[in-house]
Amino acid sequence: MAAGKTLNRHLIEEGGWRQDGAGDLLALLEPMALAGKILAREIDQAALAGKLGLAGDANATGDMQKKLDVIGNEIVMDAFAGCSLVAGIASEELDEAVVMSTSEDARYLLCTDPLDGSSNTDVNAPLGTIFGIFRRGRTGELSGGEFLQKGSEQVCAGYVLYGTSTVLVYTVGAGVHGFTLDRGVGEFMLSHHDIRCPEKGSVYSANVGRHKAWKPGVRRYLDHVTEQDKSTGRPHSLRYTGALVADLHRCLLDGGVYFYPGDPGSPNGKLRLLYECAPLACVAEQAGGAASTGRGRLLEVMPEAIHQRTPIAVGSVDNVALYERFMAEE
Ligand code: AHG
Ligand code: MN
Ligand code: MN
């Protein structure tokens, strides 16, 4: 039996990041992979180690933190503590960006949602870690404003999905590749080479419990996908896990769309632009899919704040385009 290809070997041989050399890519993704492995272990053992339930505080966007949110944030920060390339981290679980390295080599910025889908922690349902990496425009003292870059400026983005197996998916603009954690060996092994998102799919993921608050365009889109029409493969099927990473992973592999629109109480929806939506939009586009705010390309949105929210529709190009058409009719 062939030994298979580890993430590190793949990055060296075909990482596709010639501009900065494979060295930077390896140095950035190695700590991310390490954090993924440690978090997979912590999630696995959480019920036995008293690590389920609430931590007691709210984070910067008002969500009550789970113990695993706090642990996840510490794991990612610890994993990058020795990485001199990363000047600072913006995280869902940090009020403000923190400085990680003051080295001359600190030419990157990391945005992360350390634990996505944290309502799932106590019910053994899927979770994720999201990451997006930007280049810094300068060296010297870090300012929070440096993180405010369009998603299209990301040089690397991806996620780890803690599901029936643990999978790391990344892109640096040379395809989207997935690696499954072999727990016996302790390595992420190449399992999904060059993921291509189907042009269309018959699955939609959304918290339809909120549909009465949605704008008419989104409600009409929901009516459309739930209509009976054999010739166009409708109704579509609803799949919603409570973890964006898991729902997007399904869309990437099987086709479909995940959407979280705004409503009057929260005009920009729930999801955060910098460390949730932009990295996943980058992965989706690189896999041949699309990501929109409902009004235009999500990767073109210029953030004004680290914890800014945005409405999103992400997944198969045809599905996202149709969603945009319904939004435009309002
Ligand atoms: P997080 O756990 O990082 O706060 O993110 C949860 C996000 C996303 O993963 C999920 O799809 C969505 O919030 C769920 O929101 P609803 O509970 O409104 O469905
Ligand atoms: Mn999240
Ligand atoms: Mn989170």
Instruction: Return the bridge partners of 312, or none.
Output: 260
Mean pLDDT of 286-292: 98
Distance CA 190, CA 8 (A): 10
What is the pLDDT at residue 16? 64
CB of 92 within 6 A of ligand 1: the answer is yes
Q: What backbone torsions phi and psi does residue 94 show, to the nearest 5 degrees?
A: -120, 135
Peptide bond into 235 cis (omega under 30): yes
Residue 122 falls in the annotated catalytic set: no
Selecting among 93, 146, 187, 324, the annotated active-site residue is: 93
Q: How would residue 172 be classed by pLDDT, with cut points 50, 70 and 90?
A: very high
Q: Which residues contact 198 (CB under 8 A, 6 or more apart)?
A: 254, 255, 316
pLDDT category at 138 given cuts 50, 70, 90 is: confident
Average pLDDT over residues 271-294: 98
**pLDDT recorded at residue 107:** 93
Question: Does the annotation mark 141 as catalytic?
Answer: no
Average pLDDT of the residues of the chain: 95
- Domain limits of the chain? 7-192, 203-328
Query: Which atom of ligand 1 is found nearest the CA of 205?
Result: 11
Return the CATH number of the domain spanning residue range 203-328.
3.40.190.80
Residue that wins the pLDDT comparison between 16 and 149: 149
For residue 270, give the ligand 1 atom closest to its CA. 13
**pLDDT > 80? residue 53:** yes
Mean pLDDT lowest for which of 6-15, 309-318, 321-330?
6-15
pLDDT(178) > 80: yes
pLDDT of residue 295: 97
pLDDT of residue 66: 97
Count CA atoms closer than 13 A to 77's CA, side-chain side.
17
pLDDT for 17 beyond 70: no
Does residue 278 carry a pLDDT above 90?
yes
Taking only the tens place, the pLDDT of each residue in 188-224 is 999 999 999 999 999 999 999 999 999 999 999 999 9
Q: Is 118 in the pocket of ligand 1 (CB under 6 A)?
A: yes
> Would residue 276 show up in a list of annotated catalytic residues for this protein?
yes
Residue of 24, 42, 116, 324 marked active site: 116
Section 121-139 average pLDDT: 95
- For residue 48, what are its two tokens? 């036995």
- Compare 141 and 222 and report the one with higher pLDDT: 222
The sign of the torsion formed by the CA atoms of 236, 237, 238, 243 equals: negative
- CATH number for the region 7-192 comes to 3.30.540.10
The closest-lying atom of ligand 1 relative to the alpha carbon of residue 209 is 19
The closest residue, in CA terms, to atom 15 on ligand 1 is 242
| Helix axis angle, 317-328 to 216-226, nearest 10° | 130
Q: How far apart are CA 69 and CA 120, in angstroms?
A: 11
- 93 flagged as catalytic: yes
pLDDT at 22: 66
Closest residue by Cα to atom 18, ligand 1, is: 207
The pairing of beta strand 166-171 with beta strand 176-182: antiparallel
For 282-287, what is the mean pLDDT?
Answer: 98
Instruction: For residue 217, give every residue at least 6 positions away whose Cβ sits within 8 Å of its Cβ, in sequence order, or none.
Output: 294, 326, 327, 328, 329, 330
C-alpha separations of 208 from 57, 238, 310 in Å:
28, 9, 18
Pocket test for ligand 1, best of 76, 112, 207 (most atoms within 8 A of CB): 207
Q: Which of 57, 268, 248, 20 is nearest to 156 (CA)?
A: 20
What's the pTM? Answer: 0.97
Does ligand 1 lie within 6 Å of residue 243's CB atom? yes
Mean pLDDT of 245-251: 98
